[in-house]
Amino acid sequence: MKRYLALPLIAVFMSTAAFAADTHDHKNSDMSKGGMMMGMMSHEQMMAMHDHMEKMQSLMKNIKSEKDPKKRHALLEEHMQAMQDGMHMMNGNMGMSDAKEKMKNMDTMQRMDMMEERMGMMQMMMGQMMEHNMAEKKGTDHKHKK
């Protein structure tokens, strides 16, 4: 599992570091007043993402307490779909070139704030993925040979 998580994390840190290294010092009052993450996510979108994370946490709580294997599996499937939806929300369905273009107008502090928020969300998503994997493994019954 560590191998599966290492590559995406390295890619994310490399891409955010590359954006942070590009130090244009243009002031953009719209982004600083609006509190927009990466110039793409509005306050409403951030609140929707927060609500989505709460839904995923609630699903995980239900998964952990469910005893019926079929219902548990259905909840795991729903949680997996919720994680994928969360990733789409975080990415804003925007490619890296679009994101880089939008970031040209951000000053260094805005970029740092953006990276901090994004990394926090990614950490929560990674936690959900790890809990999901643990719940999946816990739910699989195996029998030892006698």
Q: What is the pLDDT of residues 86-135, one digit of tens each?
A: 888 877 655 555 666 667 777 888 888 888 888 888 888 889 889 988 88
Cβ atoms within 10 Å of 22's Cβ, excluding its own: 12
Q: Where are the domains of the chain?
A: 51-115
Place of tokens 């599966």: 4
What whole-number distance in Å separates Cα of residue 111 and Cα of residue 90?
16
What pTM was computed for the model? 0.56
